[in-house]
A and B are shown apart, each in its own frame.
Chain A
Amino acid sequence: MDFGVVVNNLGFLMVQGFLGFGSFAGGTLRLAIPAIVLGFLLGVFIGLGRLARSPWIRIPATGYVELFRGVPLVMVIFWFWFILPILLRVPLPEYGVALAAFVVFEAAYLGEIVRAGIQSVPRGQVEAATATGLTRAQTMRHVILPQALRNMIPALVTQFIVLFKDTSLASIIGYMDLTKAAQVVNNREIRPFELYLFIAVVYWLCTYTMSCYARYLERRLSLT
């Protein structure tokens, strides 16, 4: 065992692979952060759609959630990788494909979190808002969503951890994230044990810190 290989390639692994600065369009964080933000925005619509009164909105939203929750993420990444270029008739960069796949896939899970968050707001709040003369849309925007969002935060952090780990799958289509960077270094140095153990520890440090933070948020929210 010789961890010198990690030290020698630390710059490439962390700056290029983890952060995404360098000669390749890559980076674990550069994929994970936009994916959770955009996925959440889409997830709000999916979550609201699941609770809509009109079946024309509710059934497609439910179908969306059931479809993406019943299919492996790898499969969804391949759909985007192979089918988007056929439909759009232009070759697409790995970054765009990976981001699109993650946003669409995560929105199904985030939509369920949004729905649970909205359903956790007591019914009396809706009644009180209606009594003060707010419309349904106003009630949602000014009364329910702000409270629901607060209840959602721990679940959102947990989902971000899941997404953060899942970004490693973008390496399958050649996106230069931390996992791909380790593969590239390994192809040259043939030190799989050291390299994969190292990135396992990097992933672990990030996710473990975040899960401690999620637990702290949960405790703080349950006290208030």
Chain B
Amino acid sequence: MQYQFDWSVLWRGQSRDWLLQGLLTTLEISALAWLLALALGVLSGALRTVPLRPLRALAIFYVEFFRNVPLLVWMFFWYFGVPPLLPRPVQEWLFNHGAEFWAGMLALGVYHGARFSEVIRAGIQSIPKTQFEAAASTGLTVAQAYRLIIIPIALRLIVPPLTNESLNLLKNSSIALTISVAELTFQTRQIETYTAKAIEALTAGTLIYLILCLGIAAAMARVERRFAIPGLIARPTRAEH
């Protein structure tokens, strides 16, 4: 049997709406998860460098446990594992309000928060110790020194690795299809199921991801140049995903 190409399946029928809607869901879940991950990452990344042992231990537990387990397992855990433990009314409310989206967002955000944390900690630790000393000598408290000096510098230092990790988050949002969040990969599969045109459907999905990733990488390269601290060399990005 010869494979018959038919690219028109991508804009005929519902396909176009599905792709568009999938793209929007991908962007939405990624953006919300990114905010959560950044908050968790900054908090736990900063806590890992403070001179208080219990706080450090808490942050280390969070990072090491969540980062070292596959995201897919976290998706299943938050979506299938946790809701049955909640009270009945909460469960019903959740399942009437898109539980899979929120579970997926939570899994993505908590998992990547642990990975952001590593990036942010590395950024903080690359700041010379004299900065802390200078902050202390001007009379700032530890919290003030972090808020006003250390975190702003660290955020500028980590633009390249943070971009890398953010793109990983975007790509990993595809795993939410396993708990039936209708994001881009899910919709690509749906088009494949309805039209039996695997090559066309997967090419469309792949191209959209490529454009998103390469586009964001290019935009962030500009941001990186804009916010680079003069005199400091940009740190190399890590080959991970």
Contacts and interface: CB of A to CB of B under 8 A. Distances in A.
Interface residues of B, number: 41
A112 B239 contact: yes
Interface stretch (B77-85, B141-149, B221-229): B77-85
Contact of A200 (B73, B189, B206, B213): B73
A86 B189 CA distance: 16
Contact of B175 (A74, A200, A204): A74
B104 to A, nearest CB: 13
Contacts of B241: 69, 73, 109, 162
Contact of A196 (B64, B80, B198, B209): B80
Given A72-B171, A200-B73, A78 B189 contact: yes
Given A75-B202, A86-B198, A161 B68 contact: yes
B214 A70 contact: yes
Contacts of A196: 73, 76-77, 80-81
A86 B72 contact: no
Interface string B208-241: 0110011000000000000000000000000111
A203 B72 CA distance: 11
A16 to B, nearest CB: 17
A199 interface: yes
A171 interface: yes
Interface string A46-68: 00000000000000000000110
A67 B209 CA distance: 10
Nearest to B3: A86
Contact of B174 (A69, A72, A179, A200): A72
Contacts of B71: 165
DSSP majority for the B interface? helix
Nearest to A172: B178
Contact of B185 (A74, A183, A207): A74
Contacts of A70: 209-210, 213-214
A213 to B, nearest CB: 13
Interface in A10-54: none
Contacts of A139: none
A196 B3 CA distance: 40
B172 A72 contact: yes
Contacts of A67: 210
B1 interface: yes
B192 interface: yes
A186 B213 CA distance: 36
B15 to A, nearest CB: 16
Contacts of A193: 77, 80-82, 84-85
18 contacts: A69-B241, A71-B213, A72-B174, A72-B209, A75-B205, A79-B202, A109-B239, A112-B239, A159-B240, A169-B175, A172-B178, A179-B73, A193-B77, A197-B81, A203-B68, A203-B73, A204-B68, A204-B69
Given A73-B241, A113-B239, 19 more contacts: A70-B210, A71-B206, A72-B175, A72-B209, A73-B171, A75-B185, A79-B206, A82-B198, A83-B202, A109-B241, A161-B68, A168-B72, A172-B177, A183-B76, A192-B77, A193-B77, A196-B73, A197-B77, A197-B81
Interface of A: 66-67, 69-75, 78-79, 82-83, 86-87, 89, 109, 112-113, 116, 155, 158-159, 161-162, 165-169, 171-172, 179, 182-183, 186, 192-193, 195-197, 199-200, 203-204, 207-208, 211
Interface of B: 1, 3, 64-65, 68-74, 76-77, 80-82, 84-85, 171-175, 177-178, 185, 188-189, 192, 198-199, 202, 205-206, 209-210, 213-214, 239-241
